[in-house]
Amino acid sequence: MAVAASLALAGCSSSDSGSGSTDAATSAAATFDPTTIAKDETIAALLPEKIATAGTLIVGSDTTYAPAEYIDEDGTTPIGYDVDLAKALGAVLGLKVEVQT
């Protein structure tokens, strides 16, 4: 049993000498901007005409689950990775995204 525990813990360790690549990845993730995603005409063409004509993707969100979805310090703006994902999806579809809480 002790051997199994040792092997499991060894699998969780890192031999990284601190090259800083993790910091770069974290920094890149923190600066992700879903508005830089281009519309994909092929995917957008699959939308029902009524949705494409409306031009808005309305997303419901319970903004009490940081960091997934929560309200920014301004007290009104929904933010988080779920909100970013919805905005990225809207960008691909060529739709404006409205997050409702």
What is the residue extent of each domain of the chain? 33-101
Q: What is the pLDDT of residue 18?
A: 52
Q: Considering the chain, what percentage of its residues have pLDDT values greater than 90?
A: 65
The H or E element containing residue 4 is helix 2-12
What's the rounded mean pLDDT across residues 72-85?
96
- Is the pLDDT assigned to residue 101 strictly greater than 60? yes
pLDDT given at position 41: 98
C-beta neighbour count of 82 within 10 angstroms:
19
pLDDT of 19: 52
C-alpha 4/C-alpha 63 separation (Å) is 41
CATH of domain 33-101: 3.40.190.10
Residue of 100, 2, 9, 18 lying closest to 59 (CA atoms):
100
pTM of the model: 0.68
CA distance 64 to 58: 18
Write the pLDDT tens digit of every residue in 24-61: 544 555 667 888 999 999 999 999 999 999 999 999 99
